[in-house]
């Protein structure tokens, strides 16, 4: 299958490209903003790299794929850019996927997206709005809401629940989140949403428990 990764040059997106390339079962189509990122993504394992700017029209970029993974984010930029990428950009990609007949959509969201508050309020509001649009889109979707992300080495183990009461001390490595998404490609979890934290369960087992 062709897996279109939006935000492929981010830390988590790059790992997704690398894992898909190493497994060799599917083709990773990486979407990036800058032309100077193309060769690096090809070297990581992408079968194709497309240029796309989420602040502009993306209909011509989001096509010829079996699955879309949205892993883009403004990365702590201004409130305006956060809304433009994490909310409006995601909505554009969802609409383009639907218009181009792509039925499956995997969304990298965040815990707290339903109850935005604190310093991350605008970011969480944007994620929540994008998630709601996806749920209403008619696409087969899976929304993954990780807790606090870390740059720690991957453990290969996680825990998933519809909702955790506490996230304290449960940071999840970004590489484990990437591996979770790659596992989801072949896992029938359409039309559901769950949170993920570090935990004791191998990724495939954690998904079976869903």
User: Do strands 27-32 and 48-51 pair parallel, antiparallel, or not at all (unpaired)?
Assistant: parallel
Whole-angstrom distance between the N-terminal and C-terminal Cα of the chain?
A: 24
User: Which pLDDT value is given to residue 31?
Assistant: 98
Taken in order of first residue, the domains within the chain and their CATH numbers are 2-208 (3.40.50.720)
- Per-residue pLDDT reduced to its tens digit, 178-201: 999 999 999 876 669 999 999 999
Identify whether the C-beta of residue 49 lies closer than 8 Å to the C-beta of residue 33. Answer: no
| Tokens 């909505």 belong to residue | 91
C-alpha to C-alpha distance for 136 and 95, rounded to whole angstroms: 11
Q: Which one of 123, 141, 151, 167 is the catalytic residue?
A: 123
Q: Indicate the pTM of the whole model.
A: 0.95
Sign of the alpha-carbon dihedral angle for 168, 170, 173, 176: negative
Is residue 16 exposed (0-12), middle (13-18) or buried (19+ Cβ within 10 Å)?
A: buried
Backbone φ and ψ of 86, nearest 5°: -70, -30
C-alpha to C-alpha distance for 186 and 49, rounded to whole angstroms: 22
Tens-digit pLDDT profile for the chain (210 aa)?
A: 999 999 999 999 999 999 999 999 999 999 999 999 999 999 999 999 999 999 999 999 999 999 999 999 887 778 888 899 999 999 999 999 999 999 899 999 999 888 888 888 998 999 999 999 999 999 999 999 999 999 999 999 999 999 898 878 889 999 999 999 999 999 876 669 999 999 999 999 998 876
The two three-digit tokens of residue 132, written as one number: 């709601």
**Any residues with CB less than 8 A from the CB of 164 and at least 6 apart, and which?**
111, 147, 170, 195, 197
151 is catalytic: no
C-alpha to C-alpha distance for 13 and 48, rounded to whole angstroms: 14
């Amino acid at each position: 299958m062709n897996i279109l990764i939006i935000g492929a040059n981010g830390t988590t997106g790059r790992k997704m490209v690398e894992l898909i390339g190493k497994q060799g079962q599917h083709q990773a189509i990486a979407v990036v903003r800058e032309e100077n990122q193309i060769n690096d993504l090809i070297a990581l394992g992408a079968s194709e790299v497309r240029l796309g700017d989420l602040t502009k029209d993306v209909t011509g970029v989001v096509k010829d794929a079996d699955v879309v993974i949205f892993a883009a984010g403004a990365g702590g930029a201004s409130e305006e850019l956060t809304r433009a990428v994490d909310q409006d950009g995601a909505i554009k990609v969802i609409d383009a996927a639907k218009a181009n007949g792509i039925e499956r959509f995997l969304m990298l969201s965040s815990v707290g997206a339903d109850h935005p508050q604190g310093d991350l309020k605008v970011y969480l509001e944007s994620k929540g709005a994008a998630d709601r649009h996806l749920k209403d889109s008619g696409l087969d979707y899976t929304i993954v809401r990780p807790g606090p992300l870390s740059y720690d080495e991957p453990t290969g183990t996680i825990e998933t629940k519809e909702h955790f009461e506490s996230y304290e001390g449960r940071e999840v490595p970004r590489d484990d989140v990437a591996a979770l998404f790659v596992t989801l490609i072949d896992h029938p979890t359409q039309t559901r949403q769950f949170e993920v934290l570090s935990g004791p369960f191998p990724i495939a087992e954690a998904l079976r428990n869903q």
